[in-house]
Structure 1
Amino acid sequence: MGDGKTGGKKKKKAVLEMAGEVLRDAREVAAVEAHWHVLGSGQVPDKPVKKYKYIDELAKLQFELIKLQEWVRVEGLKVCIIFEGRDAAGKGGVIKRIAESLNPRVCRIVALGTPTEKERGQWYFQRYVAQLPAKGEIVLFDRSWYNRAGVEKVMGFCTDDEYEEFLRSCPLFEEMLVQSGIILIKYWFSVSDEEQERRFIERTTNPIKRWKLSPMDLESRKHWVEYSQAKDVMLKHTDLKRTPWYIVDADNKKRARLNCIAHLLRQIPYKDLLPEALELPPRQEDTGYKRPAKSDQRWVPGIY
């Protein structure tokens, strides 16, 4: 008899705890949605969201990105988004979260390597021009022509004359892009010295992230102050009204991703053009076709 009462109390307690958890989740979701609903219409939060679940917020933003993608495709827009910042600032992370939910035929990532000997003899912007978006396309630049204002300047990979010419011609180049109809959006991911060091240490010990840390990254860290000076000069020359820079506080990776994507969605007014749900057609009737025996094919072993 006593066991029955104890079991009933435990069950009642579990139900109450579950109900309380559901209520807390509902309140949290309601608070977040009050800030972030209808992103496409341009509504923005009036203050930071204090409580949120990263995965839930990211999913909402990615769904809005799908709507934006469809708008870009249908309207034939040309969108070019530049991501710059110090090593380990989180550029690749936000690019991955933007692109992973989108159609690779509409949204593509450009991450150019060291220029070839032939490219070094070309007009500096030439190899980047070949990667610019066509109508109905979004291009995400994981680093860009701003290499000349950063790593090339600091590490001595360009001459002083080439550097000065870049500062002079870059605003003109970007003005031409905007004038041609390209929507140009530029993000600089700002990370503190302490946070960059922590991420570098993590990359040295984590085999999965080890590839992200190159000898050049380590060498660049020795020139922290010079990079800061180069960034300030770059902003002075290229942070203009028609082609502004947007600075992302990147010390917290997850917040940086959400803030950047939410900001991006507000830069291009779009409408929900998602197609209606599709109905699957009936399957073709079986006409007696005999498929080959499984033993005649090379199947991947079912290890898991």
Structure 2
Amino acid sequence: MIDVSDEPRLAAPTYRAELLRLQTELAKLQEWVRRERQRVVVVFEGRDAAGKGGAIKRVIEHLNPRGARIEALSVPDERERTQWYFQRYVERLPAAGEIVLFDRSWYNRAGVERVLGFCNEQEYRRFLWQCPVFERLLVDDGVLLRKYWFSVSRAEQLRRLHRRAQDPLRRWKLSQVDVESALRWDDYSVARDEMLAATDTDEAPWFLVDSEDKRSARINMIAHLLSALPYSDLDVPRIALPRQVAASRQHRPPRERFQYVPDHAATL
């Protein structure tokens, strides 16, 4: 058996109630972003299986997808490898009125690429120098940038990786990179510390999320994001709906002409 933390977890009813309240506030935030034509970027980073994906899902769950999206870039292709490192991320930054959540970001270079040798020493050092400059340019241009690092213990990470391996609905999340993240825990710790030292700036500070308890981590992260953005509760015009609709006089073709999906629900 894998050791797990004995620390108390946030109770499910408390979690659901507070999450609903926070998601209501996120809807207000999005309306403010849309009306004020703001640009919001939220970076989610951290160890594998630290809970980034679950937090992102809860942030975006009830937002309008026309103004909020997730960017989770795959491995760069041959052409992208010849570009300026930040170039393909710039293409995915928000326009006015949009929120973009980066499920991993340009910080791949300071993490997995550094530890697994996917970049050389010169590329890595150039990133550590250029990244604060890049983020300062974003902030100076009015982008509201927030960065979160999700932290989890070695034992809890391993427990979650085992759960992924055993769950057919989560198995797609497990890769050889995840295995390496567990085997090379200390190397990732060193890379994280170097990254934080170089990129935790006044203009774009890092905020660390203790993710040993996923429920608490989600609540804490969303509450902080809301407190860190200067949004206000704007009046939303009410849409008048009719109490009833008159029956249509239009002649409709018989139902037998169409193919309906079988009523599987009736068999349950």
Q: Which residue of 2 aligns with 1:297?
A: 258
- The question of whether the paired residues in 2 share the 8 Å contact of 1:77 and 1:135 is answered with yes
- 1:269 partner amino acid: P
Q: Deviations over 1:155-176 (max 9, x none)?
A: 0000100000000111100000
1:217 aligns with 2:168: no
Distance 1:138 1:98 in 2: 11
Structure 1 gap ranges (5+)? 1-48
Equivalent residue, structure 1, for 2:98: 137
Match of 1:166 among 110, 127, 140: 127
Distance 1:244 1:161, change over 3 A: same
The answer to whether 1:100 aligns with 2:88 is no
Q: Is the 8 A contact 1:82 1:186 kept in 2?
A: yes
Following superposition of structure 1 onto structure 2, how do residues 1-304 of structure 1 map, counting pairs within 5 Å? 53-281=14-242, 285-286=246-247, 288-304=249-265
Q: Pick 1 or 2: higher relative contact order, CA cutoff 8 A, min separation 6.
A: 2
Residue segments in structure 2 that go unaligned for 5+ positions in a row: 1-9
- Other structure's SS at 1:166 match: helix
Contact 1:186–1:245 (CA under 8 A) maintained in structure 2? yes
| Matched residue count | 256
User: Once structures 1 and 2 are overlaid, which stretch shifts more, 288-297 or 171-180?
Assistant: 288-297
Give a deviation string over 1:111-170, Cα, whole Å, max 9, x none.
000000000000000000000011111000000000000000000000100000000111
**Given residue 168 of structure 1, which amino acid in structure 2 is its aligned partner?**
W
Using a 3 Å threshold, how does the CA distance of structure 1 residues 267 and 114 change in structure 2: closer, same or farther? same
TM-score calculated relative to the size of structure 1: 0.81
Question: What root-mean-square deviation, in Å, do the aligned CA atoms of Structure 1 and Structure 2 show?
Answer: 1.6
- Distance between the aligned counterparts of 1:285 and 1:189, measured in 2? 54
CA distance in 2, matches of 1:82, 1:65: 16
The one-letter amino acid paired with 2:116 is: M
Secondary structure of the structure 2 residue equivalent to 1:185: strand
Distance 1:80 1:287, change over 3 A: closer
Letter in 2 for 1:62: Q
TM-score, with length taken from structure 2: 0.92
- The separation in 2 between residues aligned to 1:286 and 1:63, in whole angstroms, is 36
CA contact (8 A) 1:67 1:274 kept: no
